[in-house]
A and B are shown apart, each in its own frame.
Chain A
Amino acid sequence: MKVFLATLLVTTALCSAAEAGETLDRIKARGSLVCGVSEGIAGFSAPDSTGKWAGMDVDFCHALSAAVLGDADKVTFKALTAQNRFTALQSGEVDVLSRVTTYTLTRDTALGLDFGAILFYDGQGFMVPAKLNITSAKELDGATVCMQTGTTNELNVADFFRSIGKPFSPLAIEDVNELNNAFFSSGRCDVYTGDTSGLAAWRSSLAKSKEDYVILPELISKEPLAAAVRHGDQQFGDIVRWVGFALIEAEEKGISQANADEMKTSADPTVQALLGVSPGNGKALGLDEAWALNVVKAVGNYGEIFERNVGAKTPLGLQRGTNALWNKGGLIYAPPAR
């Protein structure tokens, strides 16, 4: 781990800074997109039973590859820990980081990153065993709280307990398996904190029954998840941002994986612009005019991605909630693609 980190550090420091157009040229020359994902978070990026990567973050990588290279499968996935993800992106090990990463000011500035469209509105919450009969996080007086180290969780939890003036005992574990053991098998900690989507994911894959654990109603942080790229290459940053917006716009306009080709005949000028029937958007981004069409044909629209990976019919069983479209009571909104 340390050797890896050290190598990354040296490469970060020695590779020259990202310049406009450089990332796109490199991806085209290589013929594949290198995408940084998690080591395995169900619903977002995890290998399925056949060993293929699946999840919302993974689908975004496929969408990006479809937009840039015209082929959704030209993606090389790199599993990154919470710990080494930023160094891997800064050093150019990966082209884009699509790994349940919260968009924050520090990361946008001091870390030298740029963020794409927010594709999931998450928040940090608490999960406790149902048998404790706890209904609010304010009852967690002196509890031992497990969390993964290398995330913003440590900070949010400390802030929360300071604000309610109760003591707690943190247990920050780096290895996710040790962490899950500490909560699900040994009971070393009373509470598991993390992004609620992640908590639901672990509950779905590790608990004997979903009803054994409850996620408390308090959300103690805003965790907007977005893909990140290196600061400095504005062109690639634009592409990543607009591929995200295209997925959202497609859902809003009712363009799905199944009807994408038919929709090209739509009379709606917005749809025509998005699908490249009336040209201009592709040239502006430095992509093929069919970029958005390729994206939707490859992975579907935002709603389809959500339902397929984390929606009500999946083991995670998440409701759209804050992640519904803006005109359906949620926060998911895309600026117009014109």
Chain B
Amino acid sequence: MRRWVFQLVVTVSFVSLLGLLGFIAAGNLARQGIATGYGFLFGEARFEISESIIAYSAANSYGRALVVGFLNTLKVSLLAIVLATFIGTAVGIARLSSNKLLAGVAGTYVEALRNIPLLLQLSFWYGLLTVTLPVPRAALNPVTGVFLSNRGVVLPMLEPHAAFGHAAIALVLGMAAVSLLNRFAKRRQEKTGRRPTIAPAVLLLLVGPALASWYFSGAPTALDMPRLQGFNFIGGMRLSPEFAALLFGLTAYSATFIAETVRGGILAVSKGQSEAGRSLGLRPGLIMRLIILPQALRMIIPPMTSQYLNMTKNSSLGVAIAYPDLVAIGNITMNQTGQAIEVVSIFMVVYLTISLAISGFMNWYNHRMALVTR
């Protein structure tokens, strides 16, 4: 009872303190003549953004500009999370290898990159990319249509066509079929002890329908070829050096932490487990995949969650190398409108939402992977 009263008092006083601060702040802002409110989001932004997933021009609103920044943040964070997970896991396992050379290389990589501040690494990679690559007029052209310069990599892209939409739908359907097939195979294995070979069927289900629907929708192959016009390339698809440097730096840096997490998780699995597997005659690869990793995963997931959260937040360092993420766009907005408190509040809400979404997903996954005792 006393505990509840105490908690109630603390909560009420905290909330009223926040309310009081908000009240004073609002009063003072009004008295200083500083505009407040979120109305500015609908005003014309009047600035350009170097790269965007959705269509954007200076005539769009501040709100849309911030969405562009948000999508750029998501793009680089999600890609970095996926890449760093694969690289980190591979390096973590490599560090435990009995091959001295492999373990040594992996160890050097982890120790070197983990101990240099990320901001420094980003500046380094960005500088290296932009200084070493030639200017657009002298761009490297290894294959027809592919240009490599310090404006980034420009690739030919397929001209948009309805057939690609059909193929994407077919691919999703194929994936659903694969998951059904997988469940069937698992049930068969539990019943008979033998796992049916499904790999060829999986390949067929994934590629077949997608390819077929593309073919029957007209089989478009028209390419949008990039070409040099004026100062820059137009057409095709562009990968900017800012994005490349941020993705590379973020991945390389975070993979070291993931590698250590994976290594710790594997070491935490009792040695008897792998010895038992070996005495059953299993190959080392199978022991790792079927015995060690599933058990290590339970140890790995919780620290991995915080690595993912860190990567999302670290992506905001891209502002230093001109990557137009949420923070970069927000800073421009803040400067043009002067609505600092509002923009910072948007930052907080967005990062909080991304973080809660990631940790919610990881908690669900962790729960699924938790040890089930029979």
Interface string of B9-36 (1 = CB under 8 A from A): 0000000000001001100110111110
> Are the CB atoms of B234 and A188 closer together than 8 Å?
no
* A280 contacts B by Cβ under 8 Å: no
Interface string of A107-148 (1 = CB under 8 A from B): 101111000000000000000000000000000111110000
* B320 contacts A by Cβ under 8 Å: yes
> Are the CB atoms of A14 and B232 closer together than 8 Å?
no
Q: Which of A1-27 contact B (CB under 8 A)?
A: 5-6, 9, 12-18
* A174 contacts B by Cβ under 8 Å: yes
* B6 contacts A by Cβ under 8 Å: no
- Known contacts A9-B340, A186-B150, A188-B150; decide if A174 and B328 are in contact (CB<8 Å): yes
Secondary structure at the B interface, as helix, strand, loop or mixed, is: helix
Residues of B close to A216: CB separation below 8 A: none
> Are the CB atoms of A178 and B21 closer together than 8 Å?
no
Q: Which of B39-98 contact A (CB under 8 A)?
A: 46-50, 58-59
> Are the CB atoms of A5 and B344 closer together than 8 Å?
yes
Output the nearest chain A residue to B322 by Cβ-Cβ distance.
Answer: A173
- Known contacts A110-B337, A142-B230; decide if A170 and B31 are in contact (CB<8 Å): no
- Known contacts A169-B232, A182-B130, A186-B150; decide if A13 and B28 are in contact (CB<8 Å): yes
A157 to B28, CA, bound (A): 35
* B229 contacts A by Cβ under 8 Å: yes
Residues of A close to B321: CB separation below 8 A: 173, 178
Of the A-B pairs whose beta carbons lie under 8 Å apart in the complex, a sample of 7, sorted by A's number, is A14-B28, A15-B28, A149-B331, A150-B331, A150-B335, A172-B322, A188-B150
* B303 contacts A by Cβ under 8 Å: no
- Known contacts A142-B229, A231-B32, A231-B33; decide if A171 and B131 are in contact (CB<8 Å): no
Residues of B close to A167: CB separation below 8 A: 234
- Known contacts A171-B50, A186-B130; decide if A144 and B232 are in contact (CB<8 Å): yes
> Are the CB atoms of A188 and B241 closer together than 8 Å?
yes
Residues of B close to A111: CB separation below 8 A: 34, 338
Q: Which of A55-63, A83-91, A296-304 contacts B (4 or more CB under 8 A)?
A: A83-91
Interface centre among A6, A86, A155, A162 (most CB of B within 10 A): A155
Q: Which of A147-164 contact B (CB under 8 A)?
A: 149-152, 154-155, 157-159, 161-162
Residues of B close to A171: CB separation below 8 A: 50, 242, 322
- Known contacts A109-B33, A174-B328, A231-B32; decide if A13 and B341 are in contact (CB<8 Å): yes
A338 to B316, CA, bound (A): 54
* A213 contacts B by Cβ under 8 Å: no
Output the nearest chain A residue to B150 by Cβ-Cβ distance.
Answer: A188
Write the nearest CB–CB distance from A166 to chain B, whole angstroms: 8
Chain B residues in contact with chain A, CB under 8 A? 21, 24-25, 28-29, 31-35, 46-50, 58-59, 123, 126-127, 130-131, 135, 150-151, 229-232, 234, 241-242, 319-322, 324, 328, 331-332, 334-338, 340-341, 344
> Are the CB atoms of B47 and A86 closer together than 8 Å?
no
Residues of B close to A232: CB separation below 8 A: 31-33
Q: A17's contact among B31, B46, B336, by CB below 8 Å, is which?
A: B31
* A187 contacts B by Cβ under 8 Å: yes
> Are the CB atoms of B230 and A143 closer together than 8 Å?
yes
Other A-B contacts than A83-B331, A159-B46, 17 sampled, CB-CB below 8 A, are A14-B21, A82-B335, A142-B229, A149-B328, A149-B335, A152-B336, A154-B47, A155-B47, A155-B336, A162-B58, A169-B48, A169-B151, A170-B49, A172-B322, A173-B321, A186-B130, A187-B135
Chain A residues in contact with chain B, CB under 8 A? 5-6, 9, 12-18, 82-83, 86-87, 90, 106-107, 109-112, 140-144, 149-152, 154-155, 157-159, 161-162, 166-175, 178, 181-182, 185-188, 190, 230-232
> Are the CB atoms of B32 and A112 closer together than 8 Å?
yes
What 8 pairs between A and B have smallest CB-CB spacing?
A141-B230, A13-B25, A186-B130, A142-B230, A143-B231, A17-B31, A154-B47, A142-B232
> Are the CB atoms of A174 and B34 closer together than 8 Å?
no
> Are the CB atoms of A188 and B230 closer together than 8 Å?
no
- Known contacts A154-B332, A170-B49; decide if A140 and B231 are in contact (CB<8 Å): yes
Output the nearest chain B residue to A151 by Cβ-Cβ distance.
Answer: B335
Q: B32's contact among A90, A178, A186, A188, by CB below 8 Å, is which?
A: A90
> Are the CB atoms of B24 and A14 closer together than 8 Å?
yes
Residues of B close to A162: CB separation below 8 A: 58-59
Write the nearest CB–CB distance from A332 to chain B, whole angstroms: 28
A248 to B231, CA, bound (A): 44
